[in-house]
Amino acid sequence: MSGSMLSAIHVILGVSAFILPVRPLDNGLALTPTMGWLHWERFMCNIDCDTDPHNCISEKLYMEMADVMVKDGWKEAGYEYVCIDDCWPSMARDSQGRLQADPKRFPGGIKKLADYMHSKGLKLGIYADVGTNTCAGYPGSLGHYDIDAKTFAEWGVDLLKFDGCYMPKWTLLAEGYINMSRALNNTGRSILYSCEWPLYEWQFQQPNYTAIQQTCNHWRNYADVFDSWNSVTGILDWTADHQSLIVPVAGPGGWNDPDMLVIGNFGLSRDQQQTQMALWVIMAAPLLMSNDLRDIDPTSQDLLQNRHLISISQDPLGKQGNRTAKVNGFEVWQRPLSGGRLALAVINRQEIGGPRSFPLTLALLPSWRCCNLQCNVTQILPQYQEMGVHSLFSKLQVLVNPTGTALLVVSPVKGKPYTRPQAKKWFYYLKKDKSQSILL
């Protein structure tokens, strides 16, 4: 090849590297946010099967959860992955250096558990750690990435949650997460890769989200969720404070992970459970429940299986929503949906008093264009209600309980859009209207 041809190719490669969009991890997985169940928040590291056989980390727990997922409509609603978290392995690797499950608590081994899940049309997730040990002190994968990825693939595992404890130097986090991503890819098995890389890197520097998005299918950014309102609002506040950095990188194949849904446990009121579900759906978050599906109250079950909410979560456009207003103790969050639609959440962050009314005129939303000239408004939460067709300038009142959320879907109705002078006139009247001043 001639020198000039080579340099022409270099120029083309150089230019295309510059203009090609950054691609998320391309393993064909997590094209919409992952749905399933993960043991950690509810069952933690309970390994005492002698005194607590019903709740300890053992193969029985996952098999029972899988049975219920099929029997009680979870699988049908879209929940697919049954995921093991920390505390499953034996303290020692086997003679060939492979991780092995604790023999007393997992007598059948992980392969049998994976087969069990597959026989029910479900998938199995497992947990490991990028460092020398897992957070609970079990063997970590540092120095064993290839063999661990191969072992998981041979067992038929479908998802790996890769934690970030006990890394001897934080500067090794990036290469650790990237090497495990490669190792998983090299197995030839499709294994969804759930990372905690940014969470651990934030303690030292702002993570490189482009690299993270090219490496992982989802990634934890912030502290572990607890079964409390304080924890849920902490996650929401952190997300809103960092939205300009983290929202643009989310999309099909790679998602920000605000941690598990704790709906159906002990710490959240009915309104707070609705807020967690509505906002996880707006954030295009993985929907990984950590609760006891064998014993869950019907209201929580209905909320988690609400098909309108799940269809927002799984919307094919795959855009994460963000906070667009914070005013008078309310927050407004919006997520663009396919077909020019919009999901809109209004949270009442006040923790005193009764239900408060939020005045809503679609023209005042940052994405008001979605509704020019008219749109159909459907309330999904607190209860389903068709609110009818509204013009850009009609005044809607949304009633929201303290710590609760109203979730609406706004869909455009075809019509002739407002002309500029018409719109200008209406905006002028709106600005003069005191009841609307909250959004201006």
Binding region for ligand GAL (CB under 6 A): 40, 85-86, 134-136, 163, 165, 196, 224
CB 51 within 8 A of CB 237: no
- Residue 434: CB minimum distance to ligand GAL, A: 47
Q: Which residues sit opposite 356 in a β-bridge?
A: 400
Q: Which is nearer to ligand GAL, 287 or 332 (CB)?
A: 287
CB proximity list for 347: less than 8 A, separation 6 or greater: 236, 275, 278, 279, 330, 331, 333, 400, 403, 404, 405
- Residue 136: CB minimum distance to ligand GAL, A: 4
Q: Which is nearer to ligand GAL, 85 or 158 (CB)?
A: 85
CA dist 338 to 242, 318, 335, 430, Å? 24, 8, 10, 29
Q: At what angle do helices 59-71 and 109-119 cross, to 10 degrees?
A: 0
Q: Which residues sit opposite 83 in a β-bridge?
A: 38, 125
- Residue 85: CB minimum distance to ligand GAL, A: 5
Whether 163 is catalytic is yes
Options 67, 115, 146, 224, the catalytic residue: 224
Amino acid 96 reads Q
Neighbours of 66 (CB within 10 A): 24
Neighbours of 133 (CB within 10 A): 16
Side-by-side strand order, sheet with 342-348: 322-327, 330-336, 342-348, 405-413, 374-381, 385-391
Q: Which is nearer to ligand GAL, 166 or 427 (CB)?
A: 166
- Residue 86: CB minimum distance to ligand GAL, A: 3
Neighbours of 57 (CB within 10 A): 25
Q: Which is nearer to ligand GAL, 191 or 309 (CB)?
A: 191
Options 163, 227, 271, 315, the catalytic residue: 163
Neighbours of 366 (CB within 10 A): 11
Write out the DSSP string of 62-119.
Answer: HHHHHHHHHHTTHHHHT--EEE--SS-B-SS--TTS---B-TTT-TTHHHHHHHHHHH
Q: Strand pairing of 159-163 and 192-195? A: parallel
- Residue 164: CB minimum distance to ligand GAL, A: 7
- Residue 235: CB minimum distance to ligand GAL, A: 12
Whether 50 is catalytic is no
Q: Which is nearer to ligand GAL, 116 or 222 (CB)?
A: 222
Residue 108 and residue 89: Cα distance in Å, rounded? 13
- Residue 306: CB minimum distance to ligand GAL, A: 25
- Residue 134: CB minimum distance to ligand GAL, A: 6
Q: Which is nearer to ligand GAL, 198 or 321 (CB)?
A: 198
CB 349 within 8 A of CB 278: no
CB 220 within 8 A of CB 161: no
Q: At what angle do helices 109-119 and 145-155 cross, to 10 degrees?
A: 50
- DSSP-based three-state secondary structure for 198: helix
Residue 98 and residue 392: Cα distance in Å, rounded? 62
CA dist 29 to 76, 191, 315, Å? 19, 8, 15
Q: Which is nearer to ligand GAL, 102 or 163 (CB)?
A: 163
Q: Which is nearer to ligand GAL, 154 or 224 (CB)?
A: 224
Catalytic (active-site) positions? 163, 224
